[in-house]
Chains A and B, each alone.
Chain A
């Protein structure tokens, strides 16, 4: 063990350094021994001398103390002892009587620093590490009169030793230094030849030059070594040449062999590479397969011959709520199939296992998860066949169709509901897809159009159902609709013409809406056969017209009365004037031409009035309903012409405020009829109620191309309960006067339908106000 260590320790150094180190070590070793030896000797000498000195001192002191002891005079003894002060190393000196009692004492030191050894522990000559002491008998005349104990400290000694040690170390250091230097010089004699040889060896081994020889310079062991070295080299040289020859020979053989080996090695490598590749591939595939299995969104499970699970993927585990390790090896049917389906599923399994794959390749059955939840799974099944042809397992991929089934059910129910609704609908419900083809045709559609569902589904809707003249327009609109789902008719209810199966055209009301189905615009239409309605409308219209005529006739009756009224005055005036003339003639008064002219003028005037009234009447009753440009002013004047004097006669003040100057394109007589009607009503009411200061105010305003005619009276207003009734046909408050009840109704009809305006009424403070609005430019 130690040898190893030594070897390792020195091995690292070159021989030169080794030698130097050895000599250093040896020198230091020697010096150290000397040093230690010297120190020890020194110490011994010091000890001896110290003891001797102390002993002598003890003797002297003892001698000098005999008298003190003999005569029991401690004081004088102490005086004697005090002489010891001269010796600084002495700590204590105690005199004891022959009985062993302390007699006198000297101490030179703090007791704690160097304690006094008690009497019991005193040895005659005592050299401890911290003190030296002597203990002797004091003899007087051959007898012991007392004892003396001196204790001295070793401070001085240690001091000396310390200095000594320092000096020694210094000496050691210098000695080593010197040793080093000398050995440096001297080691050469040993190392130089060795190094030389080593260098030579280096060259020999590097250059393989065995012809070199080392010089022999000394006759000691190195010289022997050199000789041996040279001898060795010669031998090597000889052998070398021999070897070379053999080598050449061998080389050839070896090369041959090497080639062979290399070739076979290459082949092996290739094979190995191929095999490892194959293995890698297989592993990769396996890993991939597992990965595919695991990333598959479907549950994959393999069930072995023994009906236990041999393989599962992650999805299957999640579906069933198990960990892979918990399911592998368990009997599939016992654990995961509900009781009621177990036999059926097992049956399918057995069929599969016997190779009848087609029979059971698709199967929907329930599985039970570990939580007890039941899920409906659609399994696609196949079998795994081993290399030996045996069927080893059934492989199934399953999709959880629980939700889907529920959704399908819901859809079915919804469709049924839909069907029930649409079947019972009175209107035809059609659906048109993005290509214009009919995709839905309910029962009512069948009834209305005459086509059965079978006949129309898939047919183009417009071509089939629209009259020929409209098909083009529909197709145009459809083009736009196809892209945008928008159209003029979309989202609205419109009236169109349609064709029945038998070719008859009939009016329909169509409510059209657009829906987005599968990313495309489809249309849903609800169609109502409005032939009946149209007929009724026409009838109604005819009735209205009849009513209009009737009212006109009634109004005419009124008007005739009014005309009669109007005529009365002029006729009266004319009669009077004529009577005057006749009287003048009878009285043979002078009939001047002026008088005659004046008479003629007045008569003319009155005739004109009569004429105007007739004209107005005629105009009013004109059958043609032609429109012309006329201002309100014109119409009002005409109206006044007819009704003016009637109002006067009834003391009704008629005020007209007309600020409108625009002309409208209207049927003057229609408007006149309305005005006459309203004014007539007002007049009648004022008269009936015998209103004092009866007044009718007609205000005409024009704002934003709308003319407003307000006819207000102070007849007290329309009773609340009659507000809406008065607009209704055949409602009258003037039964006593043979009112037809049609006036206001007709007026409103005229205003709204012919003049495209509005007629409303309301109560003001003192009476009712009837307001007509007309657009100057009706749309």
Chain B
């Protein structure tokens, strides 16, 4: 092929690549949101008609997740409540703890212990601290890790289908 064509293709590829990079960041939040939206289909949660999704903290993901408000999943309507850190946590079935609460996890975890609340995070080490479902990145993909002990403690049944594709975290005993 002639040189001009080669240059053109290289250029195009570079552009697409850049787009991809940007898009991937954009997509990541979307993916996590989508995942979260799907969780109720694989995790038995209390509540009959509504599912309250409490979002603690502030970060772009939190903003994206807020979009879920009003969506119906697993036959229930999602209601999104935003909670700033430090406030008391209302009754919700799903609690998303954004990365901003990284250092403030203790009181939240105290609150949710022994309650049937699905904690979701996307910060490393969260599961070790009791967060049930956590997002992590591997090979440019959004993956899920689940602390099954925490899930058990919260008396939440997670479908094996989901467990199959998640990284299992166990509490250290």
Give chain A residues whose Cβ lies under 8 Å from the Cβ of B143.
73
The answer to whether A140 and B144 touch across the interface, beta carbons within 8 angstroms, is no
Known: A72-B31, A72-B141. A67 touches B161 (CB 8 A): yes
Inter-subunit contact B41/A71 (CB<8 Å)? no
Q: Are A73 and B38 touching (Cβ within 8 A)?
A: no
The interface residues of chain A, by DSSP majority, are classed as helix
The answer to whether B38 and A70 touch across the interface, beta carbons within 8 angstroms, is yes
Q: B38: shortest Cβ distance to chain A, in Å? A: 4
User: Which A-chain residue is minimally distant from B34 (CB atoms)?
Assistant: A70
Inter-chain contact B75/A141, CB cutoff 8 Å: yes
Contact B73 A72 (CB under 8 A): no
Bound-complex Cα distance A66 to B159 (A): 11
Q: Which residues of B contact A140 (CB under 8 A)?
A: 38, 41
| Contact, CB under 8 Å: A67 / B75 | no
- Option from B73, B75, B144 in Cβ contact (under 8 Å) with A71: B144
Tell whether A64 is near chain B: CB-to-CB under 8 Å: yes
Contact A141 B35 (CB under 8 A): no
Contacts A67-B164, A70-B42 supplied; 12 other A-B pairs, CB < 8 Å: A67-B161, A68-B165, A70-B41, A71-B35, A71-B162, A71-B165, A72-B142, A73-B143, A79-B164, A140-B41, A141-B74, A141-B75
Find the residue from B34, B73, B159, B161 having the highest chain A CB count within 10 A.
Answer: B161
Q: Contact: A76 with B164, CB < 8 Å?
A: yes
Q: Which residues of B contact A71 (CB under 8 A)?
A: 35, 38, 144, 162, 165
A76: chain B residues at CB < 8 Å are 164-165
Shortest Cβ distance from A287 into chain B, in angstroms? 100
8 A–B contacts from the bound complex (CB under 8 Å): A66-B161, A67-B164, A67-B165, A70-B41, A71-B35, A71-B38, A76-B164, A141-B73
A98 CB, min distance to chain B CBs, angstroms: 12
Q: In residues 147-172 of chain B, which contact A (Cβ within 8 Å)?
A: 159, 161-162, 164-165
State how many angstroms separate the Cβ of A608 from the closest Cβ of chain B: 175
**B42 to chain A: which residues have CB within 8 Å?**
67, 70
Contact yes or no, A73 B165, CB < 8 A = yes
Closest residue on chain A to residue B73 by CB atoms: A141
- A67's contact among B34, B141, B159, by CB below 8 Å, is which? B159
State the CA gap A58–B87 with chains docked (Å): 49
The residue on B at minimum CB distance from A69 is B38
Chain A residues with Cβ under 8 A from B74's Cβ?
Answer: 141
Q: For chain A, residues 78 to 94, give those with C-beta under 8 angstroms from any C-beta of chain B.
A: 79
Residue of B nearest to A140 (CB): B41
B161, closest chain A residue (CB): A67
**Range class of the B interface residue count:** 10 to 19
Q: Which of B74, B162, B165 counts the most A-chain CB atoms under 10 A from its CB?
A: B165
B165 touches A141 (CB 8 A): no
Given A72-B31, A72-B141, A141-B74, check contact A64 B161 (CB 8 Å).
Answer: yes
Chain A interfacial residues counted at CB < 8 A? 13
- Tell me whether A70 and B35 are in contact (CB under 8 A): yes
Interface string of B1-45 (1 = CB under 8 A from A): 000000000000000000000000000000100110010011000
> Chain A residue with minimal CB distance to B40?
A141
Over the window 64-97 of chain B, the binary record of Cβ atoms lying under 8 Å from chain A Cβ atoms (1 yes, 0 no) is: 0000000001110000000000000000000000
Write out the residue numbers on chain A whose beta carbons fall within 8 Å of the beta carbon of B41: 66, 70, 140-141
Chain A residues positioned under 8 Å from B159 (CB to CB): 67
Interchain CA distance A456-B42 in the complex, whole Å: 174
**Contact code string B33-67 (vs A, CB < 8 Å = 1, else 0):** 01100100110000000000000000000000000
* CB-CB nearest 8 A-B residue pairs: A67-B161, A76-B165, A73-B165, A70-B38, A141-B41, A67-B162, A76-B164, A141-B74
Distance in angstroms from B76 CB to nearest chain A CB is: 10
| CB-CB contacts below 8 Å: A46-74 with B | 64, 66-68, 70-73
User: Nearest residue in A to B159 (C-beta to C-beta)?
Assistant: A67
**Which chain B residue lies CB-closest to A145?**
B38
Bound CA–CA A141/B164 (angstroms): 19
- In the complex, how many angstroms separate the beta carbon of B39 from the nearest chain A beta carbon? 9
Write out the residue numbers on chain B whose beta carbons fall within 8 Å of the beta carbon of A70.
34-35, 38, 41-42
Chain B, 115-158, contact with A by CB distance < 8 Å: what is the 0/1 string?
Answer: 00000000000000000000000000111100000000000000
Determine the distance from Cα of A198 to Cα of B165 in the docked complex, in whole angstroms.
92
Nearest CB of B to A70, in Å: 4
- Residues on B with C-beta less than 8 A from A64 are 161
The smallest C-beta distance from A75 to any residue of chain B, in angstroms, reads: 8
Nearest to B164 among chain A residues (CB) is A76
Which residues of A are found within 8 Å of B161, using beta-carbon distances?
64, 66-68
**Cα A76 to Cα B142 with chains together (Å):** 14
Determine the residue in chain A with the shortest Cβ distance to B141: A72
The CA of A72 and the CA of B141, in the complex, are separated in Å by 9
Interface centre among B34, B73, B144, B162 (most CB of A within 10 A): B162
Q: With A and B bound together, what is the CA distance between A76 and B161 in angstroms?
A: 9
Interfacial chain A residues near B162, Cβ < 8 Å: 67, 71
Q: Give complex CA distance A614, B41 in Å.
A: 209
**Closest chain A residue, CB of each to CB of B31:** A72
| CA of A73 to CA of B163, assembled, Å | 12
1/0 contact trace for A266-284 toward B, CB 8 Å? Answer: 0000000000000000000
Q: How far is the CB of A275 from chain B (nearest CB, A)?
A: 108
Chain B residue contacts of A66, Cβ below 8 A: 41, 161
Q: Which residues from B are CB-within-8-Å of A67?
A: 42, 159, 161-162, 164-165
Distance between A102 CB and nearest chain B CB, rounded to angstroms: 17
Q: A72 vs B32: C-alpha distance in the bound complex, in angstroms?
A: 11
CA distance A76 to B159 in the complex (A): 14
Minimum CB–CB distance for A9 against chain B, Å: 72
A64: nearest chain-B partner, CB-CB: B161
Residues of A within 8 A of B165 (CB): 67-68, 71, 73, 75-76
Q: Which of B35, B144, B164 has the most chain A CB atoms closer than 10 A to its own CB?
A: B164
A24 to B42, CA, bound (A): 68
Q: Give the chain A neighbours of B75 by CB distance below 8 A.
A: 141
Residues of A within 8 A of B142 (CB): 72
User: Which residue from chain A places its CB closest to the CB of B74 in the assembled complex?
Assistant: A141
Question: Which residues of A, 136-169, contact B by the 8 Å Cβ criterion?
Answer: 140-141
Closest to B42 in A: A67
By CB atoms of chain B within 10 A, which of A64, A68, A71 has the most?
Answer: A71
Chain B residues with CB under 8 Å of A79's CB are: 164
A67 to B144, CA, bound (A): 12
Q: With a 10 A CB-CB cut-off, give which of B31, B41, B142, B159 has the most chain A CB atoms.
A: B41
In the complex the two chains form, what is the Cα distance from A51 to B42 in whole Å? 29
User: Once bound together, how far apart are the Cα atoms of A75 and B144, in whole Å?
Assistant: 13
| Distance in angstroms between the alpha carbons of A68 and B143 in the assembled complex | 11
Chain B nearest Cβ from A583, distance in angstroms: 190
Residue of B nearest to A80 (CB): B164
Measured in the bound complex, the distance between the Cα atoms of B142 and A72 in whole Å is: 8
